[in-house]
Amino acid sequence: MRPVHSLLLTLVAGALPIFAASGWQTDFSAAQAAAKKDHKAILLDFTGSDWCGWCIKMKKDSLDQKAFQEFAEKKLVLVEVDFPNNKKQTDAVKKQNEDLQKRYGVEGYPTFVLVDGDGKELGRHVGYLKGGPTAFVQKIEGWTKTSSAK
């Protein structure tokens, strides 16, 4: 039984970085470090994940779709900046999210802000975006092309 247990632990531990790399995180400082290390941009998703109807629709129609996730895994570090009604958050995450909201002047949800590893804004979209993951990926790619041309 022990060899099977060890094998399972090894497989799970080896898979964790894959899940972390493709998923949304909540620690902006860690995201900045990863973005700098991997030469990626950071996509901040300012959301009310458990109460904002347009946020939930955007997540379902674009963010949870394979086309967006594959793009994000290659090009982005994803950070959820959430302002939920019922979801539990640590005090540190709440404070960080309030600070990020002030820093980027976010007034409504959903708002997506693309930043570089230093936190410099590269692009922004406020509200729901029609067209699914294809439209959203094209918008993000437009921001990165514009910023690299500067």
Please indicate, yes or no, if residue 5 is contained in any of the structural domains: no
Please indicate, yes or no, if residue 83 is contained in any of the structural domains: yes
Q: The pTM is what?
A: 0.84
Regarding beta strands 41-47 and 111-115, do their DSSP bridges make them parallel or antiparallel, or are they unpaired?
A: antiparallel
Please indicate, yes or no, if residue 115 is contained in any of the structural domains: yes
H-type helices in 1-150, by residue range?
Answer: 2-22, 28-38, 53-58, 66-75, 91-103, 132-149
pLDDT tens by residue, 41-74: 999 999 999 999 999 999 999 999 999 999 999 9
Please indicate, yes or no, if residue 13 is contained in any of the structural domains: no
Containing structural domain, residue 29 = 23-149
State whether residue 137 is helix, strand or coil. helix
Number of domains present in the structure of the chain: 1
What is residue 13's predicted lDDT score, i.e. its pLDDT? 42
Please indicate, yes or no, if residue 87 is contained in any of the structural domains: yes
What is residue 145's predicted lDDT score, i.e. its pLDDT? 79
CATH code of residue 78: 3.40.30.10
Which H or E element spans position 121? strand 121-126
Please indicate, yes or no, if residue 12 is contained in any of the structural domains: no
In whole angstroms, what is the distance from residue 28 CA to residue 96 CA? 8
Please indicate, yes or no, if residue 3 is contained in any of the structural domains: no
In whole angstroms, what is the distance from residue 87 CA to residue 66 CA? 25
What is residue 149's predicted lDDT score, i.e. its pLDDT? 53
Please indicate, yes or no, if residue 4 is contained in any of the structural domains: no
What is residue 19's predicted lDDT score, i.e. its pLDDT? 38
